[in-house]
Amino acid sequence: MADETQDTPGTPAIDGQQAPAAETKDVTDDFAVRDHTSPSGLKYTTTTGRLVLRREETKDGKADGFKPKAEIFIVAYAKQDAEPGRPVTFAFNGGPGSASVWLHLGLLGPRLVDAGDVGSMTPAPFGLIDNPDSLLESSDLVMIDPVNTGFSRVVEGEKADEFHAFIQDRDLVAEVIRLWTTRNNRWLSPKYLVGESYGTLRAVAVAGRLFDAYGMAVNGLGLISTVLNMSTLRFFPGSDLPYALHLPTYAAIAHYHGRYGDRPLADVVREAEDYAARDFGYVLTQGTRLTSEEYEEAVTRLHQLTALDPGFIRRTNFRWAYHEFAAEILRSEGLAVGRIDGRFTAKPANLQASDSFDDPSIRAITGPYSAAMNHYVRAELGYENDLPYEILTARVHPWSYRTFEGAPVDVSGVLERLLIHNPDLRVHVDYGYHDGATPHFAAEYVWAHMNLDDAARARFTHHYHEAGHMMYLNPTARDAQLRALRTFVTPDRSAAEQ
């Protein structure tokens, strides 16, 4: 939770006397508890609802109560009559502004959205199917929605903006984990954090907070579609790095849309990575110092790798942001591609637009996930709430990174420190080749620049998928992800034994 305190103003004076301060309205947890049986016969209990987070406050140097600040929506899955030492996995998505529904009903939980995949999306009203390979078969699960996502809100009288910031969000999620672990007597259980997108940055930051504030060491971090250093992704004038790090993703998306014939994807990506890491870095740093021969050679090479029009490459001076690529790559076919998943396409409202921010991949999956969650939480988990379940909201913006003022938003140093302090900490990483939001080559750049010895690097496992940011949309990728994750959280036993 945040460090700041707020004094509660008193009511108006009566007969010259200051009336007592108004009492904060108390709120309580509102959990619904249900028992279930998985397709494999595993019996488990769900606890669904809003956990009240409180904060110790002081006034004039004196204790001023343990006051409710936020009600955080969680869905917890626990195996009944579990053996001692059963792992527990805490999971969340990113955004900022995303609920945990994507990991919850797309990958980890015992029920999945029947959404389909690119080219074969399930039509409305959608549905739910069993997930026979759920991570629940190997680990208990706690899905967490930060403030203003899902059903999570601040309590009456508090300001939501306080929690729309890197530090406050980190501390809030860490407090949810500490409180759940304490109440459920799970301090001696192996603990894992799984995050997606901004949730990977959050996972590392939260793991650091848990260790520093509470002495809680986690056993592993599952990083899905990773970003630990924002400077590798953000297209700012004067910063050439993101242009190079996106290049292999551009090539992969061009390959998916038929621009490479029958060449294997792995060969295409490797060729683009080699050029991005060597020659393209030189081209970008030279600026007007390039000779005309070098300039034209770069135009030709980038055209070959990305299938972009040479005129576009010249007009952008080798520097285009992803939303410009999304609008350009299939312009001749009257289509734009997705950012979250470059496999998806849609006809843009304005074919002459120079960029595309209307992501067809997000448009395709929001309906299925929204319908599934709103049904599932009430009909199967037994939780009732009239608030809208905020799946992907702008209500958290502007998001504050004031902690990093004047510096890149970067938590790779926190991960370095955790790997040193906890020699048993392991890291699972998932990449999607067609992910335009968190390109795999950008994540690899971060790993390569971390100050780690060989023993620490050996604690990473890397998994690549022919899919996008939410690679579990692809059933083949999802199956591979779940097999790897179940092994990750039960390192001493194969997933098949669970």
Res. 455: pLDDT tops 90: yes
Output helix, strand, coil percentages for the chain, rounded to the nearest 5: 40, 20, 40
pLDDT for position 8: 35
Q: Is the pLDDT of residue 206 over 90?
A: yes
Of 318, 312, 363, 319, the closest CA to residue 341 belongs to 363
pLDDT-based confidence at 25, cuts 50/70/90?
low
Check residue 14 and give its pLDDT.
Answer: 36
First CA to last CA across the chain, in angstroms?
A: 36
Print burial letters for 184-221: b (CB count within 10 Å at least 16), e (below 16).
eebeebbbbbbbbbbbbbbbbbbbbbbbeeeebebbbb
Q: Which of 274, 128, 220 is nearest to 422 (CA)?
A: 220
State the Cα–Cα distance between residues 471 and 341, nearest whole angstrom.
8
Cα separation, 2 vs 165, in Å, equals: 10
**What is the bridge-based pairing of β-strands 140-144 and 426-432?**
unpaired
- State the pairing for strand pair 62-79/140-144: antiparallel
For the stretch 320-331, pLDDT in tens is 999 999 999 999
- The answer to whether residue 229 scores a pLDDT higher than 50 is yes
Q: What is the largest CA-CA distance in the chain?
A: 89
CB 280 within 8 A of CB 244: yes
At 341 the three-state DSSP class reads coil
Check pLDDT > 80 for residue 264.
yes
pLDDT tier at 308, thresholds 50, 70, 90: very high
Alpha helices in 126-240 (DSSP H): 166-183, 198-214
| Spatial contact of 248 and 272, defined as CB atoms under 8 Å apart | yes
Q: What is the mean pLDDT of residues 59-88?
A: 89
List, by residue range, all CATH 3.40.50.1820 domains of the chain.
34-46+70-231+365-497
Report the CATH number of the 34-46+70-231+365-497 domain.
3.40.50.1820
Q: Could you report the per-residue pLDDT of 54-63, keeping only the tens digit for each?
A: 988 777 777 7
Mean pLDDT, the chain, rounded, equals 92
Residue 65 three-state SS: strand
- Determine the Cα–Cα distance for residues 280 and 401; give it in Å rounded to an integer: 31
Q: Residue 356: what pLDDT?
A: 76
Q: Which pLDDT tens digit goes with each residue over 373-425?
A: 999 999 999 999 999 999 999 999 999 999 998 899 999 999 999 999 999 99
